[in-house]
Each structure stands twice: as C-alpha cells, then as structure tokens.
Amino acid sequence: MRSVTLTANNQIKLLHCGAEFFPALVAAFDAATAEIYLETYIFADDETGERIKDALARAAGRGVQVNVITDWIGTGRVQSNVLHKAFLAAGVNHRSFNPWFRRGVARTHRKICVVDRRLAFLGGQNINDDLLSDNNAKVVLPAPRWDFAVSIEGPLVAAIHRETATQWARLGNLTLKTRWKAFKETRATHITVSDAPALAGLVVRDNLRNRRTIQRAYLQALGHARKSAWLANPYFAPGRKLRDALASAAARGVDVTLLLGVGQFRLQDAVAHSFYPKLLKSGVKVVEYRKTQLHGKVAAIDDEWATVGSSNYDGLSLFVNQEANIVIKDAEFALALRRHIQAGAADGVPVKLDDFAHMPWYYRAWYGAAYFLYKSILRIITLGKYAE
C-alpha cells in the first residue's frame, strides 16, 4: 500500500451541487485547447448529459483530443452503446469500463476530469440531472441532489492527469511491457512537506497496490482527531475498522457527527440501522438526511483535514470498486466544508438511542438479517476481506 502523495500550493475550490459543478465543467471544456480526460460512473441520457456531451463534441470539433470513460453498469448497457455511437460521430474517443464483467466484478465509481493538464475536477457528482434520482430517472427529487466536487489548479493536477491517462491506457490494447510500465508509475510516491496553503493529495482505491488507501486515510484522520469530525455519506456499511475508529474518536471526547442519506435502497438503510445502537452508545451523533437525495462523500476533521470524492462508506467502495478522493489539509477549505455538512445536518433528523430501545423485535430482526445477508455477499466478493 503506497502513501498518500501530498503537494503544496494548490488552488482548490469547493463546488456544491450541479448548479456550481456543471457550469464550471462546461466552461473548462469550452476553453480547452489540447486534451480532455473525463471518467464517470454515470453518464445519463437527460438534459444535463446532453449539455455535457455537446460541450465535449464542441471541444473535439476544435481539434481537442477528448477521451471519455464511462462505467458499463453505472451508465447502463443500452446508454453505453448509444453514447459510444454519438461520441464516435462527434470525434470523441470513448471507452466503457468492464463491459459484461470481463475484468471481474469491480466497477469504476470515480468521477474525475482533467483539462489541458492544468485544471482538474474530482468529487462525487456523476453526469446526470440534479433533480432526478440516481437509481430511477423517472423519480423527480424534491430538491437538487446534495453533492460536492472540487476544481483543482496547481501541482496536484499532474498526479490526477497521470491517473486518468493510465486508466485510459489500461482500457486499450496494451502490451504486457506497457502495462508493467504504467503499473510502476502508479507506485511512485512523493510527499512534499510545506507550510504553504492547500496541501493536498489524490487518494485512489483499486485492486492492485491501493486496496486500502482511502480507508487508511480516514483511519489516520480519525485517529488524530482532537475536537470534531463531521462526515457525510449516502451509504453506511463499512468494515469493522472504520466503525471502530468512529466509536473510538467519540469515546475519547471528539465531537463526531455522521450525516447519512436514507430512503434510496431499503436493504442499505437496514444495514446502516444495524450499526446505529453501538455508534450511538459510543457517543457518535447520527443524523439522517431526508430533504432530498444525499450523494456527497465528504468529511471535515478539526477544521484542518478534509476530503471530497467518490468513495462511499460501504463494502463496494472500500473493498471492491475503483474510487478517487482528494485529501486536503487547509484550514479555510476544511472550515467551509464543515459548515456545509452542518447545514445539511440542520436539515436532517437526529437518531436517538431511545428510538432503538423501544423498537419492535421484528425491526431489529430485519436489521440483523439485512446485515448478515450484506456481509455474506460482500465476504464472497472480497474473498473474506469485507469485515476488516
């Protein structure tokens, strides 16, 4: 497992929801002069998808080399084929990640874009409409999806570009020698020690050398937390280590608040509920966000450390899929993100330990059964590693 690469002197801007993210993305595409790499889990057939597709086509029409990766499951088999034909006609290069599970069960859940090797975007936002549900485009959300991305300028862009370019090459027809060279490049680590603002690093999860890198970043941050930890995620079904890290931080006096999305998947909600009693007893505050679909995967600890990315707190993100987060050590950024999470928590519903003390037995049985089923499936997929 490699260390997190940290570079200083980065300019990082937090983008909240599609209202801030998509205009910035389109503007970057329209200003591009050389190349664009875009990787996303979902590239939807909706108004937002058309807007981004048109901007990519305009760039390709100007002679910009445009390379787009979409996940075959996330985007869908039919939509992947439709996109491929449309991109081909527009001069946009397109590759679908792991069609028909030829590379196993792992998906690319990453949301990354690099423009002209000078500007990067990374976060949790797919290419889909903010007011349509992720899992059912026919369901209109009551408010824009709660999500985040960042735009990045500075030395860190080089590392993000290397990651996206390597991913693009992996999906092509590479020789064994070229694959080995790309693998060695991803192993290189550089840690910059500096007092300059916006010290930041790219943290990826894959099934080669980075199997635990994102989880490890969370564990280290929680282990060093002194005052507060604000974490938000749509799904909660991590392994034992991350659950214990949250409980341990709260037990030693850290103000730990976990803001979770609910209502999207019944089984997922039940699994999360199975963990609530132990978390609440340890002092972790749990808040369920019900205003709209929560999709952000963010955290702010001690107003010093922050992360934004694609990784959920579940078995698929932490043990199976390819993910990408950015870790930021900058007080101003961490404070701004913490205030966003606090605002989200203010719109949520706090979970109380008494709620479980008076809960009917069949609810508790359902939560336990859901976790047993989920754990069994994930332990098969991860060859027994999920419970870690």
* Domains in the chain: boundaries: 11-183, 205-381
Nearest CA to 307 among 295, 296, 292? 296
205-381 and 11-183 share a CATH fold: yes
Catalytic: which of 109, 161, 273, 340?
Answer: 109
CATH number of the structural domain 11-183? 3.30.870.10
Say how many C-beta atoms besides its own lie within 10 A of residue 248's C-beta: 16
Catalytic: which of 94, 161, 295, 340?
Answer: 295
116 is an active site residue? yes
297 is an active site residue? yes
Q: Which parts of the chain register pLDDT below 50?
A: 1, 177-179, 182-183, 185-195
385 is an active site residue? no
Residue 385: the pLDDT is: 78
Looking at the DSSP bridge assignments, the partners of residue 180 are: none
Retrieve residue 152's tokens.
């990045």
Looking at the DSSP bridge assignments, the partners of residue 38 are: 68, 113
Position 268: which residue type? Q
Nearest CA to 260 among 295, 218, 227, 225? 295
Residue 196: the pLDDT is: 52
Residue 2: the pLDDT is: 57
Catalytic: which of 45, 46, 116, 255?
Answer: 116
352 is an active site residue? no
Catalytic: which of 129, 134, 147, 302?
Answer: 302
Coil, helix or strand for 4? coil
Catalytic: which of 16, 297, 330, 340?
Answer: 297
Nearest CA to 202 among 137, 130, 268, 114? 114
Residue 1: the pLDDT is: 47
Catalytic: which of 16, 53, 94, 111?
Answer: 111
138 is an active site residue? no
285 is an active site residue? no
Residue 263: the pLDDT is: 92
Q: In CATH, what class is 205-381? A: alpha beta
